Chain A
């Protein structure tokens, strides 16, 4: 068990995939920046499968041997998915898919396959890449409470909804080591998860000393995304300076910065105010987290990321105005991505005013659901046009008894809603069935975009030869009604209770094994693998790199200023506005002894030493009010 896990990162991926995911320009780029929200850009982007297959075939012989060893626990299934319509993010076509050893081996019609292969019938249905849920909290404790649905329950529910990869947030409490938290999460997940998983790290206290750990995580551990909180004052919140420094570091490491965007300072004040007013119920939560507070933080995060030239991923976009800020920033060319979540796409915040405390409390999450009932449609529309890119669930379920910790004080209610299971159906029902997006965009927002952003593409997020066999047979005609009684989570409330959604996963194949069929789940605890992700995802960093080259500021070469200088009387009270003394300070005590070795003579035009700032050592202190003759030398 352990040995095979050791091997699973990267080196056992086919070399085809590892090359594609790497940052060197390779076949994938030939087809022109697949992740691109420019209108019309989706039209002529097709993967040329032939170009992949020769290489694959050449290597297959060598690889299968080792794969057999590595994937012992999943070697059983050889599968063919027949008759379905393959839907990728760029095109749809009819083909059969042959799966062996947990990867897709062949695609096409009339495949030559060994006998005794199990057939999955997909006639009349869609064959789509398994969903990727880019934001779950299956282990992060809140206020000392663990979520009721852990990695096993959570991934089980995920699989039943058609999601075959989750990306969980490792919450590193202030003062904890990043690496140990990561190891702890990974160990638990490897024992419990029943689908593949990857991990984000939530950094709750930024300081320079984290750099080494970050470097290890990015380079050796396969983590390329880190979340920062702009809310939770005095607990997790990072200041603007910290964010800037952190973004700067992440940019250098090739990672993606994620933010929980809410202005914690304002929230804190509003919470105090509301509690003073005697509002203690869950409606206080939404009143103290108004939309503007989210919008403001998103705006600030975008500005900081722009300054640091770092790609930004805004988790949980819950309101129209926050989504608008992201859309506008993208229009200005910033590298920013937005993620709406299941709850935000399916329901609204009117339930916070429910007379039933338990119902109201079940909806508590941050940023809260927006009370504006038109928000879901709006977010879906932005998702369809590419202004928002990824859908996730922000799954974090707490039982009513846990939520009731805050029955007399809404600030104590643990935050989080369910949604891991319903995510794909919600997007299908709200976006595809309403005609807002097509099936290809559906695949993009539920799977492919996330895979590209977080550098798992094309291993995940695509049905192609060489990709992981995470496949969902999607039945667009079936409907299901969500209920806490029938869902696969243990939590006793479902915020989408009673809602009917069209589009259901009828068969789910995870890692080459059929885990859902005929409504029956057949998962194995601990079968999920950790998916390492490399730094510098192409979809994100190609632009960042080009910009770093362009954005270098240059000084103006000037002659020395030799006019009079006002004498500064150093006063204890007035501090120079430089925040640190790192900048070359103006010499204050040195009296002007003329440096005879330095002459004012310069050659006009740029010189080899132009980049070295010259210090003028001579200084003429003029009498107060004295007029100067300023000479400029160029």
Chain B
């Protein structure tokens, strides 16, 4: 669309003050160590806004604005000057609106402060703390919060299932997202096995460019691991601005990868500096259980959770973490649905593993008891995988872990299918398309169940709904923070609003809402996307296609700083030994017993040419490190002892 918007697609055109923090070199951001789950580490972390402001002054001059607007958050929304809404912003005016949010309480993940936010050209230009100190007894009810717009890292608006598309496409989906206070989504590109990743990515990007009404980025799912995928991955990372890829441990014979493939994929993605998303369920066992349960005559949606018990999720999470730890690659577990899986992540983090966990709206707000509903359509609406845990205490537990930082991100896994689509599996639960809604309700439920309950504070709320995701996927501080120079994706959050979720009132096109009838405190009063007011007082004013693709650089600091150091530390060294010159048992190659070396890459001694004494090589060695220590020495001679012969083993070390 307009030039100034498209500029963002190239990293090198980013303004200096943004390009700096995103790049991998040591810079300002690191000295503060902003993302850290160490207790007390949050205390003294402040962004020096002036520091950023300097860069701003030098690099960008404000454009001539066409309109100015004042948003006063200290006042009820009703008193907001109405001129802002007149003439809904059209595409070519993007970035030309000026806004001032006055009297709000700016909440970032590290601190809250009273400040005015001035927005121009879709960016935050100015952030002035007010003289009112934080301790000022400002009536909480009136003081609305100004928070960074939410980032939903897990949506599937175009995921095909048996040739059908979700009812919420990029337009419906992003509309719902904006109505819920989410101003950026990261969607999953889901190519089928055999498809080109690149083509799939372009298809998705094209569709999203046409339809999305908020900024978006894309994860790419890897349906199959083979050599040809590698080039495409490299291209996607280096040129297309993708730094996260999903692999599957479930869906046997379709997407599932074996442990060896996962190991290779992890190693490769680590070299590229990408974040690995893992769908963690043990596909082998699920396939077995599904067969068993269908054999028992259970064909309804209750077969779905019965065939995917919690243990299989926890097991796969454990395995993924083990693999990630072996490869020294950061792992991101999508859709943590059960207590035991979450606990596995917690324990792994305690041991220092680089793993991030994502809870989703559905698992945070409801449980799996509905699978046993007598109403088929209702039960089927809950089908997602991993399934919702039937344990009703799961949501509570997950909220607790989110609050203490053991889980980091809240996604929605929004992927809605209509009841008639779900009914494809009416006689066989394995054919029910998987996915639930949640993009619209995501922020609200975290507020309702965690902040309003006193489990987490508003700063942690911002962290889990927006900032952490921005950091993990390298969008920070462009997204996920209210700071000078950041994108003007801002939500004015009203902690007191109460609404009852219903399919009738939602933006999503699905005819069933799995949260139907639940009451939710807290919701957005006003949403700004790219500096434009898109949602106010329950009214959406969006324009199709205004969403920009946000490229993400590889090697996100949050995940990869530690990896770099670990790489250095974890270098393995052999022991410097003298050559073994004792007798060697002669292996008689019997046809039955194959040498176990899995590949022919290693050189088994039995396949060596007959021993010839190498007269040029002597046993003489200087003890201590030598320059050629890293080269493995082959002893050229071999003494085959008679069977049972005793040896005199000499060692030179």
Residues in A lying within 8 Å of B, measured CB to CB = 141, 143-145, 173, 232-235, 239-241, 244-245, 263, 265-266, 268-272, 274-275, 277-281, 283-284, 287, 290, 292-293, 295-296, 299-300, 303-304, 306-307, 353-360, 399-402, 404-409, 411-412, 492, 553-559, 561, 563-566, 568-571, 573-580, 582-587, 611-613, 615-616, 622, 625-628, 630, 632-634
Contacts and interface: CB of A to CB of B under 8 A. Distances in A.
29 contacts: A144-B588, A272-B602, A278-B631, A279-B573, A287-B572, A292-B326, A293-B326, A296-B322, A355-B653, A356-B577, A356-B651, A357-B577, A401-B645, A404-B585, A408-B635, A409-B597, A409-B603, A555-B300, A556-B379, A561-B376, A566-B418, A568-B162, A573-B192, A576-B162, A580-B287, A583-B428, A615-B427, A622-B420, A628-B511
Contact of B297 (A240, A555, A564): A555
A265 B260 contact: yes
B72 interface: no
Nearest to B340: A332
A553 B420 contact: no
Contacts of B585: 145, 399, 401-402, 404-405
A558 B300 contact: yes
Given A272-B601, A299-B315, A563-B420, A173 B376 contact: no
B302 interface: yes
Given A404-B582, A408-B634, A575-B254, A143 B296 contact: no
B605 A409 contact: yes
Contacts of B167: 625
Contacts of B631: 278
Nearest to A626: B420
Interface string B405-442: 00000000000001111011111101100000000000
A269 B641 contact: no
Contacts of A556: 300, 302, 372-374, 379
A354 B646 CA distance: 21
Contacts of B263: 265-266, 269
Given A412-B596, A633-B374, 5 more contacts: A265-B259, A296-B322, A304-B285, A577-B431, A582-B295
B137 interface: no
Interface string B282-293: 101101111101
A366 to B, nearest CB: 11
A566 B252 CA distance: 25
B139 interface: no
The 3 A-B residue pairs whose C-beta atoms are closest, nearest first, are: A355-B653, A265-B259, A240-B284
A563 B631 CA distance: 71
Contacts of A557: 374
B136 interface: no
B40 interface: no
Given A240-B284, A358-B580, A274 B587 contact: no
- In this complex, the interface size class of chain B, counting residues with CB under 8 Å from chain A, is 35 or more
Contacts of B287: 241, 579-580
B163 interface: yes
B571 to A, nearest CB: 9
A173 B593 CA distance: 8
A566 B421 contact: yes
A215 to B, nearest CB: 21
B421 A582 contact: no
Given A263-B259, A405-B587, A613-B299, A586 B427 contact: yes
A581 to B, nearest CB: 10
A558 B374 contact: yes
**Residue with the greatest number of chain A CB neighbours at <10 A, chosen from B318, B599, B634:** B318
A266 B594 contact: no
A566 B253 CA distance: 25
Nearest to A282: B575
A180 B583 CA distance: 34
Contacts of B295: 582-583
Contacts of A613: 297-299, 427
A561 B574 contact: no
Contacts of A290: 326
B431 A303 contact: no
Contact of B298 (A355, A553, A569): A553
A628 B420 contact: yes
Given A404-B584, A584-B299, A613-B297, A143 B374 contact: no
Contacts of A634: 374
Nearest to B572: A287
A566 B282 CA distance: 29
| Interface of chain B: mostly helix, strand, loop or mixed | loop
B598 A407 contact: no
Nearest to A278: B632
B99 interface: no
Interface string B203-219: 00000000000000000
A549 to B, nearest CB: 15
B284 A241 contact: yes
A358 B588 CA distance: 22
Nearest to A620: B420
B428 A566 contact: no
A235 B596 contact: yes
Contact of B194 (A271, A283, A573, A633): A573
Contacts of B653: 355-356
Interface of B: 160-164, 167, 192, 194, 251-254, 258-260, 262-264, 267, 282, 284-285, 287-291, 293-300, 302-303, 306, 309, 311-312, 314-315, 318-319, 322-323, 325-326, 372-379, 418-421, 423-428, 430-431, 511, 572-578, 580, 582-585, 587-590, 592-599, 601-606, 630-632, 634-635, 641, 644-647, 649, 651-653
B377 A561 contact: yes
B270 to A, nearest CB: 13
Nearest to B312: A303
Given A299-B318, A405-B605, A571 B651 contact: no
Contact of B596 (A141, A232, A359, A399): A232
Contacts of A559: 376
Contact of B577 (A281, A400, A612): A281
A547 to B, nearest CB: 14
A553 B325 contact: no
A550 to B, nearest CB: 14
Contacts of B282: 240, 300, 303
Contacts of A281: 574-575, 577
Nearest to A582: B291
Contacts of A575: 253-254
A263 B258 CA distance: 11
Contacts of B315: 299-300, 303
Contacts of A296: 318-319, 322
A616 to B, nearest CB: 7
A242 to B, nearest CB: 9
Given A292-B325, A296-B318, A357-B651, A411 B574 contact: no
Contacts of B299: 555, 583-584, 613
B294 A584 contact: yes
A281 B578 CA distance: 11
A185 to B, nearest CB: 16
A292 B192 contact: no
**Residue with the greatest number of chain B CB neighbours at <10 A, chosen from A272, A279, A553:** A553
Contacts of B162: 568-569, 571, 574, 576
A278 B296 contact: no
A563 B258 CA distance: 39
Given A280-B632, A586-B431, A630-B377, A407 B584 contact: yes
A295 B289 contact: no
Contact of B431 (A269, A272, A353, A576): A576
A177 to B, nearest CB: 13
Contacts of B254: 575, 577
B264 A628 contact: no
A70 to B, nearest CB: 37
Nearest to B653: A355
B576 to A, nearest CB: 8
Nearest to B630: A278
